[in-house]
Structure 1
Amino acid sequence: MEIRSLDAAGLDAVRDLRSQGFGPLSDGQWAQGIRLAGHTLRGGRQLACYEGGRPVAMARIHDLAQWWHGRPVSMGGVGAVAVAPEARGRGVGRRLMTEVLERCAAFGHPLSVLYPATTPLYRSLGWEHAGSLHRAALPAEALREVRADTSVSPRRAGPDDAAEVAETVRRVHRDAGHCGPIDWGETAWRIYLADRDVYHYLAEDGFLDYHWGDGNTSLEVERVVAGSEATLRALWALVGSGSSIVPTVYANVAPHDPVFWLTRERTFEEVRRTRWMLRVIDAPAAVEARGFPPGVSAEAALEIDDPQLPANSGSWWLSVRDGAGRLERGNAAGRPAVRVGARGLAALYGGVPTSTLRSAGLLEGDAPALDAAFAATPFALDHF
């Protein structure tokens, strides 16, 4: 068994494997996927495991950033993980994902995120559930009642607006102190904005993208991000204008998305959560890059056990103040240490309370300051 990096010429060899894992793709869908994942072909980010000269497993590592309290942290987004049916149950997936871990470390990503099709494999290698993508079903008629602020005039956006879209979305997440959303960067936005089946609207401090869904019987909102009430109302009013055509709008939203407070009626809500998993690749770098709640000061001793990435293991001293954190070797204060493995560390980083982690057997010890330091409600607006 051999794991090799793929280049553009080798992609066709894994198309059948990709279809077996996720369903058949048309030529157009396959071509678009190659364009969107083109950056993973550079520098060994597209991997395949070969047996007898043919690929039996594959994975890719997107070069992304993830927002944590308004600060972007470099993140390896793992996607398109597939194992051929005849190769399953033989440790092929584990070997491939071990290589993914090592490459994330080599690329310098302090974090990795993935959407699991199955949980046990990823947990065994240190990933843990940390956040969700929330998909809300909103009555289109309720959105129709959102009154647009006429001082804001969103315009259609296209590939030439990629830099402005990337910076606008980035600025909203930064200023709002969001935790969890992905920063794709200008190159990916340029490709995405060329999709004519998705409608993109840009304002000075906001962005909307949506498309038809369910055989043109609903609207699917990928994201609405806005830095002001006026822009938020203008963008949602655009969506709501389609209420005469469709009864329901499905939207990727934050857990406390302001859209829930814009509509006049709010009773029963249908929100579907798709969980994503986090892995801390480089513990001190991940803490240093992460933003923390403003006004919180905390110190704690940690004892980390990470067999897959032993550089994370050992005794550490955590200090948080003024929205920033540091994780340094040792425990100069001599305090009792909180003990966590890789899974517990990932969940803690994502804001899961220490009481929950203790009950789940993922953390030992008591340090109330950790809850205040890592407090977060992480969410995503993207699959990858």
Structure 2
Amino acid sequence: MDIRDLTPDDLDDVFDLRKRSFGPIAPADGERWRRVVLPDLSEGRYLGVLDGGRLVAAARLRPFTQWWHGRPQPMSGVAAVTVSPEDRGRGVGGRLMRAVVERGKALGDAVSVLFPATTAIYRGVGYEHAGARHTVRLPAESLRGIRPSGQVKLRRMGPDDAAELVSVLHRVHGAARSSGPVSWDERTWSGWLANEDDFLYLADDGYAIYRWQGDGTMEVESLLAASTQTLRALWSLVGSASTIAREVVAPVAPDDPVLWLLHERTAERVHQERWMFRVLDVAAAVERRGFPAHVSCEAVVTVDDPIGGGGTYRLEVSGGSGTATPVSGPLGVTLSVNGLSALYAGIPVQTLRLSGLMSGDDRYDQALEAAFAAKPYMLDSF
């Protein structure tokens, strides 16, 4: 079997794989998908496995920005991992995912995320459980009770507002010291903002994207704000549909402020879609991550990464930044790449030790937990 970059000539075969893996796709959606993936093909972000010239598997590495403790960095979002039904169980998926990890490194990304359909194959190449995308169902009437607390200028968005939207996203997640959320690039946002069925509103420090889902449900695609006034104005805007809509479905952070603006909170219906995370380059990932400004510490960690990039490092964190310098000598804390990825995402040290993802010297445990403390979540699915 051979692994190579896919080209536009392969798209019919890729489309067939997607149908066999994810179900039928409407013709209009298929044409939209073809247009969206073309730039990824030219950038080496779509890989295929071929057996005698026949495409048997494929995976796409989508370019995202991801925030960790409020600091943005480029991230490879692995999507559309497909294996032909007749070729499953032959180790094709594992071989493809090893190539995906290597390609992510070659593209210069230090971290990667995916939403798993099955866990084992991804754990086998170093991805580990990190967080969830939380989707909550709220009575539309409860949002109607959120009243604006000041004058907020809202305007409708379109494709030409992509750059400003990205700028707002950076400011909001930076101010909130968010960990986990992602954003598409301007090119992709321009495409999303052209959807005529979406209601798109932009403020100086926030935005809302929502739509009718049918059956009396309003679906919020994304809603973020950096100030109380804008937060209230945007959720009030969504809630104004409560005379028609019965429910609002929205992705939210686990501690999203809108949940504290509701007059009543009793039983909430929350759906969690789990996502997995992987460190691709230890030194670059630590350098690009944000850390709590009050934490100052150091630790020696040894990382076992069978796909390359492991070794022993001295981690130093101070003033909100960190470094990982290769060193020789005592092993210190020992982590599989799965364990390091979970630690990076804020999973508690005791959880890592009890699950076998961390072992060795425990003198650095409190320092590592304080440095990497985070509540990772995701607002977008891909």
TM more than 0.5: yes
Equivalent runs, 1:150-229 vs 2, <5 Å: 150-213=150-213, 215-229=214-228
TM-aligned CA distance change 1:331 to 1:141, over 3 Å:
farther
The structural deviation recorded for 1:36 is 3.3
Match of 2:122 in 1: 122
The SS at the match of 2:374 is coil
Equivalent runs, 1:1-384 vs 2, <5 Å: 1-213=1-213, 215-309=214-308, 311=309, 313-330=310-327, 337-365=332-360, 366=362, 367-384=365-382
Q: Deviations over 1:359-382 (max 9, x none)?
A: 111001322111100000011111
Q: Deviations over 1:65-122 (max 9, x none)?
A: 2101111122111000011110000011111111101101110110011000000000
What letter corresponds to residue 273 of structure 1 in structure 2? Q
Query: CA–CA distance in 2 between the matches of 1:14 and 1:7?
Result: 10
Query: CA–CA distance in 1 between the matches of 2:21 and 2:135?
Result: 23
The structural deviation recorded for 1:284 is 0.5
Query: CA–CA distance in 2 between the matches of 1:291 and 1:112?
Result: 16
The SS at the match of 2:73 is strand
Kindly report the root-mean-square deviation, in angstroms, between the aligned alpha carbons of the 2 structures.
1.3
CA contact (8 A) 1:317 1:331 kept: no
Query: CA–CA distance in 2 between the matches of 1:271 and 1:221?
Result: 14
Query: CA–CA distance in 1 between the matches of 2:52 and 2:217?
Result: 46
TM-score (norm. length: structure 2) = 0.96
What letter corresponds to residue 357 of structure 1 in structure 2? L
What letter corresponds to residue 322 of structure 1 in structure 2? G
Query: CA–CA distance in 1 between the matches of 2:343 and 2:36?
Result: 32
What letter corresponds to residue 344 of structure 1 in structure 2? G
What letter corresponds to residue 294 of structure 1 in structure 2? A
The structural deviation recorded for 1:292 is 0.5
Query: CA–CA distance in 2 between the matches of 1:37 and 1:354?
Result: 39
Number of matched residues?
Answer: 379
Query: CA–CA distance in 1 between the matches of 2:41 and 2:90?
Result: 27
The runs of 4+ residues in structure 1 deviating greater than 4 Å are none
What letter corresponds to residue 317 of structure 2 in structure 1? V
Query: CA–CA distance in 2 between the matches of 1:106 and 1:226?
Result: 35
